[in-house]
Amino acid sequence: MEDFEFLRHITLGQYLPGDSLVHRLDPRVKISVMLFMTVAITFNVSYLANIILLIVCLSFVLLSKIPLGYILSGVKPALPFIIVLAILQLLFYGDAFVPYGTESRTILRWGWVHVTSGSVQLVVVSTLRFLQLLFLASLLTNTTTISDLTSGMEAMLSPFSRVGLPGHELALVGAIALRFVPILAEQLEIIMKAQASRGADLGAKGRLRFIQTTRQMVALIVPLFIDAFRRAEDLILAMEARCYVGGRHRTKRVRFRFQRADYIAYVLVLLFSAAMVAFRNRMPF
């Protein structure tokens, strides 16, 4: 039966309770930090800049006291894709990427294969970027409860409600979707066991495994969708029975207030990211 219980081990986006500086930061600050850093990361392609950014992201992880191994374990399922991608980039992207202000030197040319200093840099930098973004995204979800995250997002989107952006509704949709992840995972497990007990060969092995497993997915996905719709109907009734009519007349609870640490973190990261963007073409290597 262990075959079917992998769904319990989803660690993506799991909140790890703690009392570190990062845990205590206002969720709006954490979301902003994530955005600023992402901008800085996407603008920088030089080795030095990415090393600096990686060190900064690492120091965030250390501050949060989340074990580094825990965050890195999230890479494992994606590892084959990353490696394939890196190899493709290394071998075939030689001409496509020329870092600013440098000449791309050819290292190896053999038929279609064209390795240049540019493609090496591309591979190294995209791996570093991947790690930086992984650290940031894991950190955000590992140190913030879902409800804090969604109400933080709601608070950040609320200024746009005047131009018709339904901030509250978007946040609620996100919160409900996340709330139902464990329930639907459990339901999928039940369906898998039910199908297996009636002879479905879900652990199919062999050369044509891909085709078989795809076909079997239909037998899982269809009942899962029907179940999800039924739950949605129930939820609608329950929400209506509790007087839900959208966000307009709802109580706005002030859940967060900026502390000194919030201001400092916000300003520091903003300045750092701005500097990284401004000096992106002045890095020595």
User: Residue 52: what are its φ and ψ, rounded to 5°?
Assistant: -60, -45
Judged by CB under 8 A, does residue 257 bind other proteins?
Answer: no
- State which of residues 48, 108, 176, 211 lies at the interface with other proteins (CB under 8 A): 176
Q: What CA dihedral angle connects 32, 55, 107 and 281, to 10 degrees? A: 50
Judged by CB under 8 A, does residue 229 bind other proteins?
Answer: no
Judged by CB under 8 A, does residue 245 bind other proteins?
Answer: yes
CB of 249 to other proteins, least distance (A): 4
- State which of residues 59, 182, 281, 282 lies at the interface with other proteins (CB under 8 A): 182
User: 189 near 1, Cβ under 8 Å?
Assistant: no
Please name every residue paired with 114 in a beta bridge, in sequence order, or none if there are none: 109
Return the SS3 of 245.
coil
Token pair, residue 285, equals 């290597």
Q: Nearer to other proteins by C-beta: 95 or 186? A: 186
User: 43 near 35, Cβ under 8 Å?
Assistant: no
Residues that bind other proteins (rule: CB under 8 A) add up to a total of: 28
Distances (CA, A) of 44 to 47, 117, 132, 150: 9, 17, 12, 30
Judged by CB under 8 A, does residue 9 bind other proteins?
Answer: no
Q: Nearer to other proteins by C-beta: 115 or 172? A: 172
- State which of residues 238, 268, 271, 275 lies at the interface with other proteins (CB under 8 A): 238
Judged by CB under 8 A, does residue 11 bind other proteins?
Answer: no
User: Residue 95: what are its φ and ψ, rounded to 5°?
Assistant: -90, -20
Judged by CB under 8 A, does residue 19 bind other proteins?
Answer: no
| Single-letter residue type at 284 | P
- Could you say which DSSP state residue 221 is in? H
Judged by CB under 8 A, does residue 177 bind other proteins?
Answer: no
CB of 221 to other proteins, least distance (A): 20
Distances (CA, A) of 279 to 48, 101, 118, 284: 11, 13, 20, 10
> In the window 89-148, what residues touch other proteins (CB under 8 A)?
145-147
Judged by CB under 8 A, does residue 185 bind other proteins?
Answer: no
Judged by the rule CB under 8 A, the positions of this chain that interact with other proteins are 145-147, 172, 175-176, 178-179, 182-183, 231, 234-235, 237-245, 249-254
